[in-house]
Amino acid sequence: MAKRLRILSNLKVKPETGVAWIVGFSSSSSSSSSSSSSSVPPPSPTAAASADLLPPLITVVAFVNCLHFSGTSSSSLQPDYEEEAEDLRILLPRGLEIVGAVVSSSGDTAATKNDATRAGDFAFGLRQELGLAANSGSDGINVIAALAVESLSTNESVMCYSQYDGSRLQLLEEEIVQEGSWRDTCLLRCQLELSMPLYLPSIVTLAEYEEQVIGSVDSIISNLKSSRAVFLFERQGETVLINASDKPNAKAAAADVQQIPSESTLSSLQGSILQPAENQVQIRRTLNSVLSVSHSSFRVPMKLILMIRPSCSKTSSPFMQYLPAKSLVELHLLRMSLDVLCLAPSHLSAADATTLLVVPALCDQLIVMCKMANKNATHNPKVCAFHFCPLSCPITTIYDLSYGESEIALVEHRKALHHRLGLPLDRPMLRVANALTLASLESSSNHSAGGKRLLDVHIGLSASTVAGGCQSLIAGSYEYYHYLQDRFDDNGWGCAYRSLQTIISWFRLQHYTSITVPTHREIQECLVEIGDKEASFIGSQEWIGAIELSFVLDKLLGVTSKILSVRSGAEMPSKGRELALHFRTQGTPVMIGGGVLAYTLLGVDFNELTGEIMFLILDPHYTGGEDLKSIRNGGWCGWKGTITTNGQQFFLANKFYNLLLPQRPITV
Amino acid sequence: MCSWVVAALESWRSDPFPNQMQQQKKRDRGKVSFKVTLTSDPKLPYKVFSVPEEAPFTAVLKFAAEEFKVPPQTSAIITNDGVGINPQQSAGNVFLKHGTELRLIPRDRVGTIA
More confidently predicted of B10 and A301: B10
Statement: residue A279 has pLDDT above 70: no
**Stretch A555-573: mean pLDDT, rounded?**
89
At B93, is the secondary structure helix, strand, or coil?
A: helix
Residue A499: per-residue pLDDT: 93
Q: Sorting pLDDT into bands at 50, 70 and 90, what band is A278?
A: very low
Residues A306, A312, A314, A316: what is their CA dihedral angle, to the nearest 10 degrees?
Answer: -100
Give the residue among A604, A607, A561, A613 at the shortest CA–CA distance from A581.
Answer: A604
Give the residue among A184, A350, A185 at the shortest CA–CA distance from A278.
Answer: A350
By the CB < 8 Å criterion, does A562 face chain B?
yes
Q: Are B75 and B107 in contact (CB under 8 A)?
A: yes
Q: Are A525 and B81 in contact (CB under 8 A)?
A: no
Q: Which of B108, B112, B113 to mutate to test the interface with A (most CBs of A within 10 A)?
A: B108
Give the residue among B76, B11, B86 at the shortest CA–CA distance from A545.
Answer: B76
Candidate from A492, A551, A658 with C-beta closest to B108: A658
**Partner B, chain A 615-634, Cβ-Cβ below 8 Å:** 621
Distance CA A374, CA A367 (A): 11
Identity of the residue numbered A210: E
CB contact under 8 Å between B110 and A567, yes or no, is no
Candidate from B86, B106, B112 with C-beta closest to A656: B106
More confidently predicted of A445 and A12: A12
CB contact under 8 Å between B111 and A560, yes or no, is no
Q: Are A194 and A336 in contact (CB under 8 A)?
A: yes
Residue A286: per-residue pLDDT: 30
Backbone φ and ψ for A268, nearest 5 degrees, come out as -80, 140
Distance CA A89, CA A94 (A): 8
Identity of the residue numbered A222: S
Residue A280: per-residue pLDDT: 31
Instruction: Say which residues have a Cβ less than 8 Å from residue B30's Cβ, sequence separation at least 6.
Output: B52, B53, B54
Statement: residue B54 has pLDDT above 80: yes
Statement: residue A52 has pLDDT above 80: no
Residue A505: per-residue pLDDT: 92
CB contact under 8 Å between B84 and A543, yes or no, is no
Task: Please give the share of chain A, as a percent, with pLDDT higher than 90.
Answer: 10
Q: Sorting pLDDT into bands at 50, 70 and 90, what band is A467?
A: confident
Residues of A in contact with B108 (CB under 8 A): 545-547, 593-594, 656-658
Q: Are A640 and A466 in contact (CB under 8 A)?
A: no
How far from A39 is each of A267, A282, A632, B26, CA to CA, in Å? 13, 11, 51, 84
More confidently predicted of B50 and A297: B50
Statement: residue A440 has pLDDT above 50: no
**Stretch A438-455: mean pLDDT, rounded?**
49
Residue A229: per-residue pLDDT: 75
CB contact under 8 Å between A543 and B78, yes or no, is no
Statement: residue A284 has pLDDT above 50: no
Candidate from B76, B82, B112 with C-beta closest to A562: B82
Considering A186, A363, A495, A526, which one is annotated as catalytic? A495
Q: Is A495 a catalytic residue?
A: yes
Statement: residue A450 has pLDDT above 60: no
State whether ipTM is beyond 0.95.
no
Distance CA A510, CA A487 (A): 27
Q: Using a cut of 0.90, tell me whether the model's pTM lies above it.
A: no
Instruction: Say which residues have a Cβ less than 8 Å from residue A237's Cβ, sequence separation at least 6.
Output: none
Give the residue among A118, A13, A125, A117 at the shortest CA–CA distance from A74.
Answer: A118
Instruction: Say which residues have a Cβ less than 8 Å from residue A630's Cβ, sequence separation at least 6.
Output: A624, A636
Q: Is A384 a catalytic residue?
A: no
Pairing mode, if any, of strands A19-27 and A382-388? unpaired
Residue A601: per-residue pLDDT: 93
Give the residue among A260, A261, A226 at the shortest CA–CA distance from A243.
Answer: A226
More confidently predicted of A50 and A606: A606
CB contact under 8 Å between B78 and A567, yes or no, is no
CB contact under 8 Å between A658 and B86, yes or no, is no
More confidently predicted of A333 and A582: A582
By the CB < 8 Å criterion, does A600 face chain B?
no
Q: Which of A493, A543, A565, A591 to mutate to test the interface with B (most CBs of B within 10 A)?
A: A565
Q: Sorting pLDDT into bands at 50, 70 and 90, what band is B18?
A: low
Residue B16: per-residue pLDDT: 64
Residues A86, A87, A89, A95: what is their CA dihedral angle, to the nearest 10 degrees?
Answer: -150
Residue A497: per-residue pLDDT: 93
More confidently predicted of A129 and A562: A562
* Helix, strand, coil shares, percent, chain A, to 5: 25, 30, 45
Residues A583, A588, A593, A597: what is their CA dihedral angle, to the nearest 10 degrees?
Answer: 100
pLDDT tens by residue, A623-655: 888 888 888 888 888 888 888 777 788 888 888
What sign results for the dihedral spanned by CA atoms A25, A31, A34, A37? Answer: negative
Residue in chain B nearest A597 by alpha carbon? B110
What is the average pLDDT value for chain A, to the nearest integer?
Answer: 75
What sign results for the dihedral spanned by CA atoms A497, A498, A499, A500? Answer: positive
Distance CA A174, CA A159 (A): 10
Distance CA A126, CA A132 (A): 9
What sign results for the dihedral spanned by CA atoms A429, A431, A436, A441? Answer: negative
Residue A581: per-residue pLDDT: 92
How far from A284 is each of A63, A104, A277, CA to CA, in Å? 28, 40, 15
Residue A327: per-residue pLDDT: 79
pLDDT tens by residue, A240-271: 666 655 443 333 333 333 333 322 222 121 22
Q: Sorting pLDDT into bands at 50, 70 and 90, what band is A313?
A: low
What sign results for the dihedral spanned by CA atoms A218, A222, A223, A229? Answer: positive
More confidently predicted of A143 and A507: A507
More confidently predicted of A248 and A472: A472
Statement: residue B33 has pLDDT above 60: yes
Q: Chain A: give the shortest CA distance to residue B43, in Å.
A: 12
Give the residue among A198, A276, A192 at the shortest CA–CA distance from A231.
Answer: A192
More confidently predicted of A196 and A614: A614
**Stretch A305-313: mean pLDDT, rounded?**
69
